[in-house]
Structure 1
Amino acid sequence: MKKVFPALCAVLFLGACAQGTVGSAPTQNATQASSEVATSGGVGDPRTRAKLHTELGSLYFQDGNMAVALQELGIALEIDANYAPAYNVRGLVHVYLREMEAADRDFQQALRLVGNDPEVNNNYGWFLCQSNREKESLGYFMRAIKNPLYQTPDRAYLNAGLCSLKINDLAAAEDYFQKALRVSPDNTQATFQLAGINYKRGKLEEAKKLIAAVTRRVEPNAELL
């Protein structure tokens, strides 16, 4: 069991890496979005144009092309300085680049424009967690969760759990992960984190059951087998 748990960590880490796309070439969706922007030729209302450039910037961000992502998001904000999603996505880019002061400014501006937006609150909460402001982050996760229009509250619960782990609050982390699973029973990350908590507490049988649930959802490596 003590051998299996670290091995599973490696499996999940590699799986997460495989799900991302890193490189300079845009994805097909980014190419399509770029074509839409070019076709619009600057025609249309500012909000629509800002939205197109923000979507394009988001796709370049997902593709790992941070320079072009920042360029597109900058264009979006030149067109419409009050378009909150552009600040939100640019904040994520700055977090990725570890430009934390710039990220904080962008998230704060997004919150000034759309203070109840669950995505912005969740993202800012995660930023605070990454900035060693874990306790402060929890309020933003809860604000996101309380929004009845939030389609993925399990993400905010998961983030709250991860931040609670950073400050060694196992009881709170366990509660958040369990709530994430009530919303999304197939949430592999939450299941894995609960296994880790049980492992730390010496509840090896319970941890083993949870790991078995995780391995059914991920491709195990030779060490796990």
Structure 2
Amino acid sequence: MLLVTALVACSSASSTKSNNSEDVHLQLGVRYLSMNKLELAKENLLLALKNNSDNTQAHNALAFLYEKLNQPDKAKEHYETALDLTPDDLGVQNNFGRFLCEHGELEEGMELLSQASSNPLNDRQWLALTNAGRCGLSMGQKQQAENYFRQALQLNSTYAAALSEMQKIAYEKGDYWAAKGFLQRYLGVATHTPETLWFAAQAERALGNKELAREYKNLLLEKFPLSNEAKKIVAVKDF
């Protein structure tokens, strides 16, 4: 998920800057949210809205917080308000688009992500492109999704989320050497997840590198024993 990165990116993208209390509370709310101090984040974001109920970035940040609290109805309400207040806000388009895609409203989400990812004024197009790629996968548009991920990596060659998606795509296409390459690039900027270990083990197994495949399997079982990937790999015969 790109949640904290997306929030910090868009909350810092306000078109105007001031030193009033609403901005102070907004900045504190975002900072606490990035630290996963959710109660303090909520307190400050609500204060920002109390001072100015039309604060787009406060609505955007609060929506993000409600996502983390697993309250999607409240999250959607604040995203909708943020978008109504500032329809061309790139951060809102990206966050709300991702949210809609993750909650099954794929066409609506992709429309917002397309706007955010195609706008040349967006200095984080790679973020929106990665979200669009994931939405495309949910829509069954695998080739288009791959195009989005590749575009994201052209803009930011070290973006871990896009690299992990390309590892998976390469493996599923049977291009195991490419999957290895994307994993190596990913590990240069991030740590393993259950999914990267699963695909790493499967790619090495497909290439006949049984010892390395077992190393990845053991690492998966050691680091993420309760993950779905760990359960799947235990069930694989002749590993």
| TM-score, structure 1 as length reference | 0.74
Equivalent residues, number = 184
Shift of the alpha carbon at 1:147? Answer: 2.9
1:80 partnered with 2:84: no
Secondary structure of the residue aligned to 1:149 is coil
Shift of the alpha carbon at 1:125? Answer: 0.8
Unaligned runs of 5+ in 2: 6-17, 198-211, 220-239
1:138-177 Cα shifts (integer Å, max 9, x gaps): 1111111233332111000011111222333211110110
1:186 partnered with 2:158: yes
Matches within 5 A, 1:3-18: none
Match of 2:178 in 1: 206
1:61-110 Cα shifts (integer Å, max 9, x gaps): 11112222111111111111111110000000011111111111101111
Match of 1:68 in 2: 40
Matches within 5 A, 1:36-185: 48-185=20-157
Is the contact between residue 98 and residue 109 of structure 2 (CA under 8 Å) also seen in structure 1? yes
Amino acid at match of 1:106: H
Moved more, 143-152 or 116-125: 143-152
Shift of the alpha carbon at 1:194? Answer: 1.1
1:195 partnered with 2:167: yes
Distance 1:176 1:191 in 2: 12
Amino acid at match of 1:152: R
Moved more, 164-173 or 79-88: 164-173
Distance 2:139 2:22 in 1: 39
Distance 2:34 2:48 in 1: 17
Shift of the alpha carbon at 1:195? Answer: 1.8
Secondary structure of the residue aligned to 2:20 is helix
Unaligned runs of 5+ in 1: 1-12, 21-45
Distance 1:147 1:212 in 2: 31
Kindly tell me: are residues 144 and 47 of structure 1, through their superposed partners in 2, closer, same or farther at Cα, counting changes over 3 Å? farther
Shift of the alpha carbon at 1:49? Answer: 1.3
1:111-144 Cα shifts (integer Å, max 9, x gaps): 1111101001000011112212223211111111
> Taking every aligned residue pair, what percent have the same amino acid on both sides?
26
Amino acid at match of 2:162: A
Amino acid at match of 2:79: F
**More relative contact order, 1 or 2 (CA 8 Å, 6+ apart):** 1
Is the contact between residue 47 and residue 80 of structure 1 (CA under 8 Å) also seen in structure 2? no
Over the aligned positions, Cα root-mean-square deviation in angstroms equals: 2.6
Secondary structure of the residue aligned to 1:214 is helix
Amino acid at match of 1:138: M
Kindly tell me: are residues 219 and 83 of structure 1, through their superposed partners in 2, closer, same or farther at Cα, counting changes over 3 Å? closer
